[in-house]
């Protein structure tokens, strides 16, 4: 290791200081404490330690520390943190040295803050020595990762040789760092080793580098350098595979195809060979060279026999080429070869939908029937009865439609399909001249699912028919009840017995107290460890969703969403407003309202879209490459950035909340203008793009919204439109002051 270990008079004094810090259970007399503090003031740097110190006898957490000691620790710790923020480092240092928690987790908190004070004082060797010692007593990798990151912050300030730097960087590469930190480490290693873009000695580092975050702009320059200094196929197959993945993600299909060809010709690994023979035709497919893709897919089948992905891709190629009959032949081959495969469910559904679109309703019913009963619990399978009822509704066979909708409502349990079935059951009852029954069904639907898309639709239907009773008032349903009442509601709903203590949460400082001190990183790591054991505890989910609200909004919503999954269908009508506002939060409020007001778009609509797209996670990246809060594709982001005058735009900027919201709202404004303010088409375009949206608009024109919502042929887009509009209406209900 790069740390030089030596023994000196100065080092011995500092060893005493460190022992005093790391071993709080040693009962030193006040005289000894005074001597130790005097020594720490005299000597500002710790050169080394002669041997590691471990303190694993302390319990990781203690459930009930002495209340006085806990209060004293918390007050002193809080004061030290505040002094550090104010720049008063010496008083903070002295106060931290006097803390003696008899718990390892509290000791870790103390040492991490103490290390920060030492770093800010420029006492880098002391800081690193303390971090190394703390590393020896931590139990979980999350804490080890944090400590290693802290060491990275000070490493460049230490006097070390290039060899010592290389040892340190390569050792850090094995730690559980973020992709961004790993990229920084790899770039430093390449620089120290004199990277020239050609020599194969760099292949392991290049392979690691291009297996990381493709959005990091630093990879672009490295890729250009490699591309200019070497040709595809000149490196080891695994390196070439990772470079091909990167080029695929960036849309550089031609270079990726060249690499695939070279890998197929060079590799001796049968696993790599088969993988490349799958990737190669897929790249042609992405280039829209469907006949080339067919050639290589057929070659794969000749070499290896049936493969589910290959059969599907061949069918998709024929469909893209407009040869629907050939596509159906290959889809049928797939269903015969893989009768229980999830894709078989999709194929049956697609064949039924195609027949339905063509007006061949009886043929459509035949295909939908194939989903019963094998796929009834699958995503599409559970909508089978609903779709059959909807076909009968379009045929005006209302009694048959009623029977199907009733079966769907009674025999399925999905949070969307059940209210959908009840809604259309109510509409059918109107057609059957059974108005009282229809009102009862729709009113009960609204009562049971007031925050569901179909709950809103039920209310709208009754209002439009002038059958809405003004006694049914939203405002009395969603009211604040106070924290104690919320906890009683949760406990009563689940018949839940509170668990005793959280074995990962400190007895000295709980997570909310850490957040109050703005020690968010310590709070987040503590929470992650605690969450593993309490992920299904509704009181835990509520407590920390509330604690993180306004501090760590992404995680607050994550917990609230988990809590919402546990709310039973019968309980949605009486959810307290405090819980609902956690499930429907308004993070980045200043940013969202600024651009919402600029472009006259309801903020609730923006939040609803953001909720569905990213779950309020600013740095999220989708499998398709969409980035950030409003999931903007890089190419779209670049175009919008030019339109908005965003300077020096690059894809990584889409992870910044303000940039993402600015461009996302601009895109919504442009789409609203294109589709004459019809939000259903705005959302169709946002999710599926302009081509299918144009087709749906041409086919369905001015049909009533309730019909149009069921006729969007893309499963994902149909579901997306309902969820976003339903959420937008929920924001209007929960935040009436924001409605303009």
**φ, ψ for residue 418 (rounded to 5)?**
-65, -55
The length of the chain is 740
Q: What is the DSSP string of 399-420?
A: HHHHHHHHHHHHH---TTHHHH
Closest CA to 477 of 450, 454, 456, 512: 450
CA distance 76 to 508: 12
Contact 61, 505 (CB under 8 A): yes
SS3 167: helix
- Name residues whose C-beta falls within 8 Å of residue 282's C-beta, 6 or more positions apart in sequence: 293, 313
Name the phi and psi angles at 239, rounded to 5. Answer: -65, -45
Which residue, 714, 687, 553, is CA-closest to 632?
Answer: 687
- The contacts of residue 385 (CB under 8 Å, 6+ apart) are 404, 405, 407, 408, 411, 412, 421
Helix 589-599 / helix 657-674 crossing angle, nearest 10 deg: 30
Q: How far apart are CA 273 and CA 574, in angstroms?
A: 58
Alpha helices by DSSP H, listed for 615-678, are 634-644, 657-674
627 phi and psi, to 5 degrees? -125, 140
What is the dihedral angle through the alpha carbons of 725, 726, 730, 731, rounded to the nearest 10 degrees?
-20
List active site positions.
Answer: 613
Q: SS3 for 632?
A: strand
Residue 646 DSSP SS3: coil
User: Which residues are CB-neighbours of 674 under 8 A, at least 6 positions away?
Assistant: 685
Q: How far apart are CA 482 and CA 484, in angstroms?
A: 6
HEC readout, 699-727: HHCCCCHHHHHHHCCCHHHHHHHHHHHHH
The span from the CA of 482 to the CA of 490, in Å, is: 13
Phi-psi region of 216 (alpha: psi -120 to 50; beta: other; left: phi over 0): beta
Q: Are 593 and 603 in contact (CB under 8 A)?
A: yes
CB 446 within 8 A of CB 458: yes
User: Exposed (0-12), middle (13-18) or buried (19+): which is 535, by Cβ within 10 Å?
Assistant: exposed
User: Is residue 607 helix, strand or coil?
Assistant: helix
Q: Do residues 181 and 143 make contact, with C-beta atoms less than 8 angstroms apart? A: no
Q: What is the dihedral of CA 246, 211, 170, 115, to 10 degrees?
A: 100
Please check whether residue 214 is in contact with residue 249, taking contact to mean a CB–CB distance below 8 angstroms: yes
d(CA 271, CA 638): 38
Burial class (CB in 10 A: 0-12, 13-18, 19+), 3: middle
Nearest C-alpha neighbor of 289 from the set 253, 261, 326: 253
Query: How far is residue 709's CA from residue 719's CA, in Å, rounded to a whole number?
Result: 9
427 φ, ψ (degrees, to nearest 5) = -65, -40
């Amino acid at each position: 290791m790069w740390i030089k270990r030596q023994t000196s008079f100065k080092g011995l004094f500092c060893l005493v200081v460190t022992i005093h810090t790391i071993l709080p259970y040693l009962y030193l007399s006040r005289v000894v404490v005074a001597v130790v503090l005097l020594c720490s003031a005299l000597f500002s740097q710790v050169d080394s330690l002669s041997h590691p110190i471990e303190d694993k006898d302390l319990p990781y957490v203690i459930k009930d520390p002495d209340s006085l000691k806990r209060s004293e620790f918390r007050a002193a710790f809080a004061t030290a943190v505040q002094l550090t923020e104010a720049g008063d480092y010496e008083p903070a240092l002295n106060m931290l040295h006097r803390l003696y928690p008899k718990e390892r987790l509290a000791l870790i908190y103390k040492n991490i803050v103490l290390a920060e004070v030492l770093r800010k004082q420029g006492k880098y060797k002391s800081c690193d020595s303390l971090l190394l010692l703390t590393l020896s007593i931590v139990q979980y990798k999350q804490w080890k990762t944090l400590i290693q990151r802290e060491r990275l912050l000070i490493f460049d300030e230490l006097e070390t040789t290039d060899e010592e730097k290389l040892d340190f960087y390569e050792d850090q590469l094995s730690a559980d760092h973020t992709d961004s930190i790993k990229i920084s480490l790899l770039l430093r290693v390449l620089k120290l080793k004199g990277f020239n873009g050609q020599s194969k000695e760099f292949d392991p580092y290049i392979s690691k580098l291009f297996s990381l975050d493709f959005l990091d702009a630093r990879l672009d320059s490295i890729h250009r350098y490699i591309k200019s200094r070497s040709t595809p196929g000149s490196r080891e197959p695994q390196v070439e595979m990772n470079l091909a993945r990167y080029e695929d993600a960036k849309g550089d299909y031609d270079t990726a195809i060249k690499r695939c060809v070279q890998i197929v010709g060079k590799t001796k690994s049968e696993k790599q060979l088969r993988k490349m023979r799958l990737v190669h035709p897929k790249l042609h497919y992405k280039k829209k060279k469907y006949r080339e893709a067919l050639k290589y897919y057929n070659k794969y089948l000749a070499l290896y026999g049936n493969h589910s992905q290959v059969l599907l891709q061949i069918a998709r190629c024929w469909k893209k080429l407009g040869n629907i009959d050939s596509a159906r032949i290959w889809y049928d081959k797939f269903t015969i070869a893989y009768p229980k495969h999830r894709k078989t469910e999709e194929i049956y559904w697609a064949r039924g939908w195609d027949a339905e679109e063509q007006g061949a309703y009886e043929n459509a019913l035949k295909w939908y029937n194939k989903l019963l009963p094998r796929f009834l619990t699958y995503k599409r399978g559970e909508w089978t009865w609903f779709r059959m009822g909807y076909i009968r509704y379009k045929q005006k066979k209302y009694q048959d439609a009623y029977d199907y909708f009733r079966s769907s409502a009674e025999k399925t349990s999905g949070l969307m399909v059940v209210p959908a079935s009840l809604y259309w059951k109510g509409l059918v009852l109107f057609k059957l001249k059974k108005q009282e029954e229809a009102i009862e069904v729709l009113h009960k639907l609204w009562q049971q699912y007031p925050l569901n898309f179909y709950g809103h639709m039920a209310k709208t239907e009754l209002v439009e028919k002038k059958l809405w009773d003004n006694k049914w008032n939203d405002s009395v349903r969603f009211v604040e009840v106070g924290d104690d009442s919320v906890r009683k509601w949760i406990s009563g709903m689940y018949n839940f017995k509170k668990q005793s203590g959280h074995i990962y949460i400190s007895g000295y400082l709980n997570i909310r107290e850490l957040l109050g001190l703005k020690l968010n990183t310590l709070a987040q790591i503590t929470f992650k460890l605690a969450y593993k054991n309490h992920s299904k505890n509704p009181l835990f989910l509520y407590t920390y969703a509330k604690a993180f609200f306004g501090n760590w909004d992404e995680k607050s919503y994550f917990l609230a969403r988990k809590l919402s999954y546990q709310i039973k269908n019968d309980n949605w009508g009486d959810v307290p407003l405090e819980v609902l506002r956690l499930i429907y939060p308004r993070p980045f409020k200043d940013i969202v309202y600024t651009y919402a007001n600029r472009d006259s778009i309801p903020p609730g609509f923006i939040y609803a879209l953001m909720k569905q797209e990213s779950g309020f996670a600013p740095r999220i990246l989708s499998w398709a490459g969409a980035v950030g809060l409003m999931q903007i594709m890089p190419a779209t982001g670049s175009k919008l950035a030019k339109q908005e005058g965003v300077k020096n735009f690059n894809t990584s900027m889409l992870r910044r909340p303000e940039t993402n919201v600015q461009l996302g709202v601009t895109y919504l404004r442009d789409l609203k203008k294109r589709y004459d303010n019809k939000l259903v088409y705005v959302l169709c375009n946002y999710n599926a793009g302009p081509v299918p949206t144009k087709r749906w608009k041409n086919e369905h024109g001015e049909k009533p919204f309730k019909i149009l919502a069921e006729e969007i042929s893309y499963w994902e887009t149909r579901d997306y439109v309902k969820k976003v509009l339903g959420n937008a209406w929920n924001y209007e209900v929960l935040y009436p002051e924001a409605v303009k």
